Structure 1
Amino acid sequence: MELSLAHPAIKAFMCGSLSGTCSTLLFQPLDLVKTRLQTLQSATQPGSGRVGMMSVLLSVVRTERLLGLWKGVSPSFVRTIPGVGLYFSTYYSLKQHFFEDSSPGAMQAVLLGGGARTVAGVVMLPVTVIKTRFECGRYSYASVSGALRSVCQTEGPAALFSGLMATLLRDVPFSGIYVMFYSQTKTSLPKEIRESPLAPLANFSCGILAGVLASLITQPADVVKTHVQVNPQTRTTEAIRNVYVEHGLRGFFRGAVPRCLRRTMMAAMAWTVYEQMMAHMGLKS
């Protein structure tokens, strides 16, 4: 089937998948550093000082070489390529169904983004669990398929959905907040900019602002999600308590800098590439 004849939702899926591929490859090291920071047993050792983003990054390069920063990129691709495609195709379908002849308001944008992320998050959660385990460095899986098989055999299929609540509490608000800020700031731009060659750069800047705000608001849920997926026998409430007892309130913001950088840049790039490709295909994103 030729791309020009494909259903608009399929075109949105393909545009989203391509944008997700580009952003994942570029920003995977930030995700790995974020996961390592969040899964350290303690923030400090006696006399060692505080462990930060750069010390973790240098440690990975020193012990696992430069390519070690891309550990977990295989499950990231397996998750992101169909996951981002599913997200954008769901978003496009929902928007066309409910707002075909109008633009969604702020609260409607929150519901659109949250609804699309709920679908993609639930479907892709098993791969998200495997990706987190690859990145934390505690598991020695040979491949994504082997990891899925190993978890099912040793822990049961339910382990592949560990952290579901924490994941949804992180991703659904993130997507809703992001889409709201992104759509509202983009709409507030002067018409001359929106219709000029600078439009992609302006959209990317709007995405950066939206990503920073959404990342900071949802950071505590990301920390809890990581702890539950690395230790699937731990319940969400137990993970919250453990993080607070070990590290205090600051523990809920461990890994905030690399996550904020990665999520912000990935989301901004994904939306910019998606919208440019949809416009090229003659579809309204």
Structure 2
Amino acid sequence: QEFNVTAHPAIKAFMCGSLSGTCSTLLFQPLDLVKTRLQTLHSNMKPGSSRVGMVTMLRSVVRTEKLLGLWKGISPSFVRTIPGVGIYFSTYYSLKQHFFQEGRPGALDAVLLGGGARTVAGVFMLPVTVIKTRFECGRYSYQSVTGALRSVCRTEGPAALFSGLMATLLRDVPFSGIYVMFYSQTKASLPKEISSSSSAPLANFGCGVMAGILASLITQPADVVKTQVQVNPQLRTAEAIRIIYMEHKLQGFFRGAVPRALRRTMMAAMAWTVYEQMMAQMGLKS
């Protein structure tokens, strides 16, 4: 309790972000696993054959790996998300306090704040992101996060832990920037009686859902490329783009769009809602 009182505001933002990330990751991990499986599915089906969709993949995972198989990769997801979301929100809070102590950030300012915070968190947590993607794709038999990190360093070299860095940043930085812009602008347009009422958290969550859908669809192609590079570290970003297009045409860049949009939208909306409520409880302006 004494720590909470005397802690630096950025540390409080880190704690709030970490807790919100823990809740959202536990709830929506199955959607991330299905998204990764769809994106790494190399099918030899002939043209005209039925496509594998989100529901089919869900059933397949449950049938072959039981219900808990939907939470495969939860360990690296926690290792990445708990500190990662904390780093994101503490960086966001620090940048906002440093550059916008007075007044509300505009649309472009919100893009820069969200993108800057995501860049810091994304680079710092990329090795765990690589391991998480490999856990979820089902091609690797890692037993633990630390074991996977050691295995990759030993067999592929430390550089493999940063595979897909460019694709990851091309996905996450625009997503965060676009999300924060839409979220902040939509929330600011709410009537004052709603913003100050007890239903404000629900209204903010609705704003987050709208912002998440738009940001997810815009950045989906970069997510597909990122997944391919991290699962196949011998591929370069440009080569992965070429292969995806040659095998699946433009629709290949939107594989896994539905589960990713659902997961990213709900996770972001929940994370921001929990973060803002906790910051308000601590007497801090988020």
Q: Which moved more, 1:38-47 or 1:82-91?
A: 38-47
1:102 offset after TM fit, Å?
A: 1.2
Query: 2:88 & 2:233 partners in 1: Cα distance?
Result: 26
In structure 2, the partner of 1:22 is 23
Q: Which residue of 2 aligns with 1:120?
A: 121
Contact 1:43 1:50 in 2 (8 A): no
| 1:99-178 aligned within 5 A | 99-178=100-179
Q: Note closer, same or farther for the CA distance 1:197–1:159 as it changes in structure 2 (3 Å cut).
A: same
Give the deviation of 1:4 after TM superposition: 1.3
What amino acid does structure 2 have at the position aligned with 1:36?
R
Residues 257/96 of structure 1: CA separation in 2 closer, same or farther (3 Å cut): same
* 8 A contact 1:44–1:51 mirrored in 2: no
Amino acid at match of 1:71: K
List per-residue Cα deviations over 1:180-230 (Å, max 9, x = no partner): 000000000000000000000000000000000000000000000000000
Matched residue SS, 2:198? coil
1:259 partner letter:
R
Letter matched to residue 138 of structure 1: R
Structure 1's unaligned 5+ residue stretches are none
Structure 2, unaligned runs of 5 or more? none
The corresponding residue for 1:225 is: 226
CA drift at 1:48:
4.2
Cα distance, 1:42 vs. partner? 2.8
How many pairs does the alignment contain? 285
Name the counterpart of 1:237. Answer: 238
Structure-1 separation of matches of 2:272 and 2:157? 36
Summarize deviations over 1:243-268 as a string: whole Å, max 9, x none.
Answer: 00000000000000000000000000
Determine the C-alpha separation between the residues in 2 that align with 1:47 and 1:63: 26
TM-score (norm 1): 0.99
SS in 2 for 1:130: helix
Equivalents in 1 of 2:244, 2:43: separation in Å?
10
Counterpart-to-counterpart distance in 2, 1:100 and 1:45: 59
Structure 2 residue identity aligned to 1:5: T
Give the 5 Å matches for 1:246-261. Answer: 246-261=247-262
**Contact 1:13 1:86 (8 Å CA) reproduced:** yes
Structure 2 partner of 1:194: 195
Between the aligned partners of 1:43 and 1:121, the Cα distance in structure 2 is 34
Query: Is the Cα–Cα contact under 8 Å of residues 32 and 136 in structure 1 kept in the other structure?
Result: yes
Counterpart AA for 2:65: E
The CA deviation at 1:2 is: 1.6
Question: Identical aligned pairs, as a percentage?
Answer: 84
Is the contact made by 1:114 and 1:176 (CA closer than 8 Å) also made in structure 2?
yes
Shift of 1:47: 6.5
- Give the whole-Å Cα distance in 1 for the aligned partners of 2:206 and 2:91: 24
